[in-house]
Amino acid sequence: MAVKDVVKVSRKTFFNPSGWLGYTALKTNSQFVWQTLRQLMTAPESTLPAETTETFEEALQRYNLTPEAVKEIEKDYLFYAGLFLFLGIFSILVGLYFLFFERTIVGFLLSLAVTMLFGSQAFRYHFWYFQIKQRKLGCTLNEWLETYFPQVKRPGP
């Protein structure tokens, strides 16, 4: 075996900035993040909701649900919506405490993020409750808004 194969000395032995900075790992991670963001922002055609022709009563029959079970589910969804709303209000109050008494903006921002998560869950369960109460599948956001906020004028068709 040749000496040059045993002792591999090249310019990268002493000067390798891309190796020092972890360029390949950084490039791989950046590509992964951009691909993930691209996938989040575009929906494939197969995952788009199809037009449903099923009525609420047909769905009840398909899932073998009785009117008593539907009332119980409706109560549960309203309870979950209220619980998440309470937790969201509590978390924003904790965030305000962090902001004004502990003087930390990081605590407030984390609390704000948690509040948004609780708010989205509260809306989800309340929207499901609304659909059950209306006995209609595929309700729209405008229908929900018109029911609970009729005085607000919204642009659109």
> What predicted TM-score, i.e. pTM, was given to this entire model?
0.65
Kindly tell me the sign of the dihedral angle through the C-alpha atoms of 114, 116, 118, 121: negative
Q: In angstroms, rounded to a whole number, what is the distance separating the alpha carbons of residues 12 and 17?
A: 9
Are 144 and 81 in contact by the 8 Å Cβ rule? The answer is: no
Write down the pLDDT at residue 124: 95
Write down the pLDDT at residue 1: 61
Write down the pLDDT at residue 39: 83
Write down the pLDDT at residue 12: 65
Write down the pLDDT at residue 79: 98
Mean pLDDT (the chain) is 86
Among residues 123, 124, 98, 102, the alpha carbon closest in space to that of 110 is found at 98
Residues lower than pLDDT 50 in the chain: none
Write down the pLDDT at residue 40: 79
Write down the pLDDT at residue 149: 86
Write down the pLDDT at residue 80: 97
Write down the pLDDT at residue 106: 94
